Amino acid sequence: MFDNAIANLVGMVHNKHFKGTSDNSVCDLGNQTYMNTVMQRKIIRGKTVNSTKEWYAELGFTEYLAIDVNTKLDAVALDLNYVLKDRYGFEQEFDVVTNNGTGEHIFNQLSVFQNMHNLCKVGGFMLHVLPFQKHCDHGFYNFQPNLFAALAEQNDYVLDRSFISNAMWTHNTPAKFTVNRQKSLADDCDAYNWGKWDPEVLVAMRKTSDKPFEIPFQGLYKKDIAEKNIEINYK
């Protein structure tokens, strides 16, 4: 669902990195139903559109594709449990790739993050809006901010934005805390007392090199690796 959370994140990245440009491309993991909210219309200068594809086009993203298990809402049917370029020979790259409430429903998390990496151009952005706390039985997984800091550290991404939000309140989660896990994070942002709104983790990462995707190791425990043959994988 293309709601205010992902629209705001796209809007922030667009204003900082893409404003004034055109002919940019975007790929959504999961087909996205456009909600047509006041906030979404404000980001595209009050215009009314009928689809997520049209909303992106108003910001200069003239090429749009979604990837799902069906072909609804401008999607192509591919299974994200697998590495797309290996299973389907799909090697197209995009300026922006979004994981907006899709990754938590996919069992193979390695393929999700590897696909994000492969689908993104060097210099492009990977955007995530995923469950943080609560979201009872919503998907297979919830996600923690330190995961994205570790992904960024291991793969030379620039962690452009990282915060937790619940439609009413936002708490920044900078990399200097999340690489090593901020143990007081839930208390700091009062995550257990946010009422009916389930908090999400929102992240924007910029890809800076064309090196293959590397699996991260949680920063808090890197110092405990004693075997050199293991340690070398996470330099």
Q: What is the reported pLDDT for 168?
A: 66
What does each C-alpha distance from 231 to 122, 146, 221 come to in angstroms? Answer: 27, 19, 11
Pairing mode of beta strands 24-29, 61-68 = parallel
C-alpha to C-alpha distance for 32 and 68, rounded to whole angstroms: 10
Q: Using one digit for the tens of pLDDT, what is the confidence trace for 39-96?
A: 999 999 999 999 999 999 999 999 999 999 999 999 999 999 999 999 999 999 999 9
84, 65, 73: which is closest to 25 by C-alpha? 65
Report the DSSP pairing between strands 120-131 and 200-206.
Answer: antiparallel
Domains of the chain in start order, with CATH, are: 4-234 (3.40.50.150)
- Whole-model pTM: value is 0.93
For the cut 60, the answer to whether the pLDDT of residue 180 exceeds it is no
Give dist(CA 62, CA 103) in Å, integer: 25
Tally Cβ neighbours within 10 Å of residue 134: 16
Chain centroid, CA 112 distance in Å: 10
The closest alpha carbon to 33, from 7, 61, 63, belongs to 7
